[in-house]
Amino acid sequence: MSGEKKEVLFEIQNLCRYFTLDKHNTLKAVNNVSLTIHKGETVGIVGESGCGKTTLGRTIKRLYTATSGKVLYKGQDIFAMNKEQAHKYAKEVQMIFQDPYSSLDPRMTVREIIREGMLNHDIHKGDRAAQDQFIDRLLLMVGLNREHADRFPHEFSGGQRQRIGIARALAVRPEVIICDEPTSALDVSIQAQVINLLKNLQEEFGLTLIFISHNLSLVKYISDRVGVMYLGSMVELAPSDNLYEMPAHPYTQALISAIPIPDPVVQKSRKIIELKGDIPSPINTPDDACSFASRCPYATPACSKHAPKLELVGENHYATCDRVLKGETAV
């Protein structure tokens, strides 16, 4: 997907989502994130637990409102939409959730689950036979049978339930699917099935995918571009292969070095950059410091005095680190 002039689908500008805990405490889940997403591409969002990747996904889906900043979808601010526009947006942007057990209503059959969205968005309006036919086709597409349509979610395994979730998302003919850790509850052999399915469906329907995961190897495999988040900020954004070959931000470097490779010889010869300590609390994080300064092996006093911005460090490659900008690290 390297078309020169790609249609911009999402323009996320300085998006912030804060959660007020009490009078003095604010949790900054997403802090000043800017991102452009083109039609037909897959953007991966990676980071450790609590980095704000899920909140970012949910804010884009409009499940949360933004504290400040904008999300432009086809040029239109999603938080300034009227009811009708919002309804259309809800149809075009679908979501697949992490937990296939709790994201399907246990009292509805698979057919009802998939039909619900179709009724809501007038797909094959008033023609139940056509709807049923479409449901059968969707089930086949995600690797299930039409006999499965009249069963309940508890009769399925985790991988099959995730397929039902995918069929439900596809039922309203979306343009974008936000996948929030779609395979983290699944075994590796099943994970590979679901990922291949998503990739094939993307090609077939020209979908745009926003793929949120903590598994960097998986994100590398599925994404065209990857954004790395740390403590609410996006610290690096680059084309997939670039990011893994030449990580610019010290956090990305440490994160990538910590991911084990299933090959004893390769793994034993790798140097792991060990980060000291834990991720700091996202409550009341200072606005005028680099979010990674407390754990960064290269931190200087200047790092805790101003917040670096995401800036171009290579071809299509952005990072928020002063060191990289000054050319002090090999990019």
Partner 1 sequence: MEELLQVKNLSISFHTYNGEVQAVRNTSFDLHRKEVLAIVGESGSGKSVTMQSVLKLTPCVFKSGQIIFEGKDITNYNDKQMQNIRGSQIGIIFQDAMTSLNPTMKIGKQITESILRHQKVSKAEAKTKALELLTQVGINNPEKRYHQYIHNLSGGMRQRVMIAIALACKPKLLIADEPTTALDVTIQAQIMDLLAKLKEEVGCSIVLITHDLGVVAANADRIAVMYAGKLVESGTSDQIFYHPAHPYTRGLLESIPRLDASHNTKLTYIGGTPPDALNPSPGCAFSARCKYAMRICRQQAPEDREVEPGHTCACFLMDDEAKATREKMGWEVKL
Which residues here bind partner 1, judged by CB under 8 A?
A: 48-49, 157, 159-160, 187-193, 195-196, 214-218, 220-221, 223-224, 240-241, 244, 254-264, 266-268, 272, 274-275, 278-279
Q: Which of 191, 147, 175 is nearest to 90 (CA)?
A: 175
CB of residue 267 vs partner 1: minimum separation in angstroms?
A: 4
Q: Which is nearer to partner 1, 140 or 261 (CB)?
A: 261
Task: Indicate the helix (H) or strand (E) that contains 256.
Answer: helix 250-258
Task: Indicate the helix (H) or strand (E) that contains 128.
Answer: helix 128-141
As a whole number of angstroms, the distance between CA 56 and CA 117 comes to: 23
Q: Which is nearer to partner 1, 190 or 289 (CB)?
A: 190
As a whole number of angstroms, the distance between CA 17 and CA 232 comes to: 9
CB of residue 329 vs partner 1: minimum separation in angstroms?
A: 19
Q: Which is nearer to partner 1, 8 or 279 (CB)?
A: 279
What residues contact residue 105 under an 8 Å CB cut-off, 6+ apart? 113, 153
Q: Which is nearer to partner 1, 78 or 243 (CB)?
A: 243
CB of residue 241 vs partner 1: minimum separation in angstroms?
A: 5
CB of residue 202 vs partner 1: minimum separation in angstroms?
A: 14
Q: Which is nearer to partner 1, 102 or 120 (CB)?
A: 102
Q: Which is nearer to partner 1, 119 or 258 (CB)?
A: 258
**What tokens appear for 197 in the block?**
């399915």
Contact 79, 62 (CB under 8 A): yes
176: DSSP letter: E
CB of residue 240 vs partner 1: minimum separation in angstroms?
A: 4
What backbone torsions phi and psi does residue 223 show, to the nearest 5 degrees? Answer: -95, 150
CB of residue 67 vs partner 1: minimum separation in angstroms?
A: 26
Q: What is the dihedral of CA 134, 136, 141, 147, to 10 degrees?
A: 170
Q: Report the Cα–Cα distance between both ends of the chain, in Å, rounded.
A: 24
Q: Roughly what angle, to the nearest 10 degrees, separates helices 158-170 and 110-120?
A: 20
CB of residue 185 vs partner 1: minimum separation in angstroms?
A: 9
Q: How many C-beta neighbours within 10 Å does residue 44 have? A: 26
Q: How many C-beta neighbours within 10 Å does residue 80 have? A: 10
Q: Which is nearer to partner 1, 193 or 304 (CB)?
A: 193
